[in-house]
Amino acid sequence: MQPSARAHLHSRLENGLAIAVLAVMAVLPLIEIVGRMTIGRGISGSIVVVQNLTLWITVLGAVLASRTERLLALSTPRVLPGRVQGPIKVFTSAIAVAVTSTLVAASLDFVQIEREFGDVIAWDIPTWTVLSVLPAGFGAITGRLIWRAASDWRGRAIAAIGLLIPLIFVSVPGVETVGLVLPATFVIVAATALGMPIFAAIGGAALVLFWGDGTPVNAVPGETYRITASPMLPAIPLFALSGYLLAEGKASQRLTQLFTACVGWMPGGLAVVATLVLAFFTPLTGASGITILSMGGLLLPVLVRAKYPEQTSLGLVTVSGSIGLLWFPSLPVFLYGFYAQLNYKELFVGGLLPGILLVVVVAAWGASQGWRRGVVRTPFVAREAAAAMWEAKWELLLPVVVLGGIAGGYTTLVEAAALTVLYTFVVECFIQRGLSVRRDLPRVIVECATLVGGFMIILSVAFGFTNFLILAQIPMMALEWVQAHIQSPMLFLLALNGFLLLVGAMMDIYSAIVVIVPLVAPIAAAYGIDPVHLGIIFLANLELGYLTPPMGANLFLSSYRFDKPLVEVYRSTLPYMFLLLMTVLLITYVPAMTLWLVGVVFGGS
């Protein structure tokens, strides 16, 4: 078989497996709902199976992401001279290969241990068979890292040197006296700064720290398996899938028509429409970058044709793709709630008013620029507004279906997520017919799995890293240092804003949550800051970090999508950046904006 044919076969197998896993994850909770309503019970163990399949879609999605070089990483290489980008990629790939190949060896050891124990998860499925996806997935990622390190065999051979690193872990049980922990950590940090995938950085740090402590490195995949213990995490890929179905099914066009008919009469109404559409879809797709790449390209030409200033329009689309992450069913909010051990319902209620304020500020500035230019407005016609509302009725009913199921106690979170998938599937494929089941659906599911794997693989390896930090009492030491140098809670919040802006400019929001939350949460608690308020501060700052020059991720995405120089993108977003910064400070220092509605809904709980 030719190499290209073999690669194509591998891709089809990976796609098919990812589609099958996501399909089973969606179907089993639906069967659970039907069984409970008809015969009073569901299928015993089905939810446990869904939780374990979360590990599979995490690893499979990461494999898919490695296939298209979409594993989350810092965007540093884009600002480096072209002549050094090739050697740097070989270097970072070699370090990543060292990490992933060590994870393969550690996972094989862990699988063997579980096989000897003989535990089962449910339906007599052995635990070790579930865990087998770890060495297989990390092995596939390792191969892809080597292959994509360079276009020539010499570069690939250099990257493959990283395969020798697991031998050191096997032959040297501890390095307390050898002194390699600090140099190894420095190399990992340097490689991360130069664009190595974030999951390899966190996984590598966990391996090195456990190794230096004399703990077997199979503790890292052992901690990774904890991803299956959460009854909430399976909702993340399911909500992401429903968001993708909506985005690909032309729901954005129907909502654009609705918002245009309802608010297009306002001065600068088109800017308001663009902001609402982009902000609405960001929490559905789970990533602001996707919103910019998909819908931003549709809305920017419309704004320019309507005689909005091009610089204002570019800034509006770039910024609007970065807001809305505080609204249901935003994946970062779920992830923050999981990691901070908070009620996700309180986080969503607390983020409602701050999220609305962020949208209002952005829309108002864009509208004011359009009003100053005298752009054409769309007259309000009640008949057209009613027709647009009728056309978008199925999308408008979606929050009622999902939130009604959860609030009414009819469904759990995971069941509501599965119900959302079913609803959007039926609406977009059979009612609105914007998607073809045969032609479009497989592509959409694979794209969703790629996104989910890209950030959840970071979560999976971060369990080991954060567990080591806790065992080493790093959060307690950080708390003691901060309290010794900062006395005022207000000053602490100001310092936190600056720190989170810097973090948001350098890391994606998912990596920041899993790495920073365990350090920040206990410190904020010591200053008496409400944990829900802290969560909204954290997420709002990271939203702003997406836009912080010079490294904000959405700035690069916008430059790439619209083929504009980075400096022009910086300039277009600066007015919005200033306004959003003032808004984030307002959210930070006026806790009532977050906590008032939480108190009303939950009775002050």
Q: What is the largest CA-CA distance in the chain?
A: 79
> Are 117 and 213 in a shared domain?
yes
Is residue 194 predicted with pLDDT exceeding 80? yes
CB hemisphere CA count around 114 (13 angstroms): 23
Q: What is the pLDDT of residue 329?
A: 78
Is residue 87 predicted with pLDDT exceeding 80? yes
Q: What is the pLDDT of residue 605?
A: 45
- Burial class of 434 by CB neighbour count within 10 A (0 to 12, 13 to 18, 19+): middle
Long-range contacts of 408-413 (CB under 8 A, 24+ apart): 410/33, 411/33, 412/29, 412/231, 413/231, 413/232, 413/235, 413/344
How many domains does one find in the chain?
Answer: 3
Residue 288's closest CA among 350, 331, 225? 331
Q: Look at the block and give the residue holding tokens 């906590």.
A: 595
- Asked if 195 contacts 76 with a C-beta cutoff of 8 angstroms, the reply is yes
Entry field: residues in the chain: 605
Q: List pLDDT tens digits, range 471-511.
A: 777 767 776 777 777 888 888 898 888 888 877 776 667 76
Q: What is the pLDDT of residue 356?
A: 92
- pLDDT, mean of residues 311-316: 86
Q: What is the pLDDT of residue 481?
A: 79
Q: Which residues pair with 126 in a beta bridge?
A: 120
Question: At residue 395, what is the residue type?
Answer: E
For the chain, counts of helices (H) and of strands (E): 29, 0
> Are 225 and 241 in a shared domain?
no
> Are 287 and 404 in a shared domain?
yes
Q: Which residues pair with 598 in a beta bridge?
A: none
The 3-state DSSP class for residue 126 equals strand
Domain closes at, from 408, 426, 449: 449
> Are 544 and 404 in a shared domain?
no
> Are 538 and 586 in a shared domain?
yes
Q: What is the pLDDT of residue 172?
A: 57
Q: Which residues pair with 120 in a beta bridge?
A: 126
Q: Is residue 354 domain-resident? A: yes
DSSP letter (8 states) at residue 161: G
Residue numbers of the domain that contains 97? 67-229
- Asked if 339 contacts 514 with a C-beta cutoff of 8 angstroms, the reply is yes
Q: What is the pLDDT of residue 177?
A: 43
Is residue 388 predicted with pLDDT exceeding 80? yes
- pLDDT, mean of residues 504-533: 82
> Are 317 and 432 in a shared domain?
yes
Domain closes at, from 178, 211, 229: 229
Domain closes at, from 213, 229, 245: 229
Alpha helices in 393-488 (DSSP H): 393-407, 413-426, 441-471, 474-485
As a whole number of angstroms, the distance between CA 122 and CA 126 comes to 8
**Across 14-23, 279-288, 570-579, least confident range:** 279-288
> Are 129 and 180 in a shared domain?
yes
Q: List pLDDT tens digits, range 537-595.
A: 999 988 887 787 755 667 776 776 677 776 788 888 889 889 999 999 999 999 999 99
Q: Is residue 380 domain-resident? A: yes
> Are 488 and 440 in a shared domain?
no
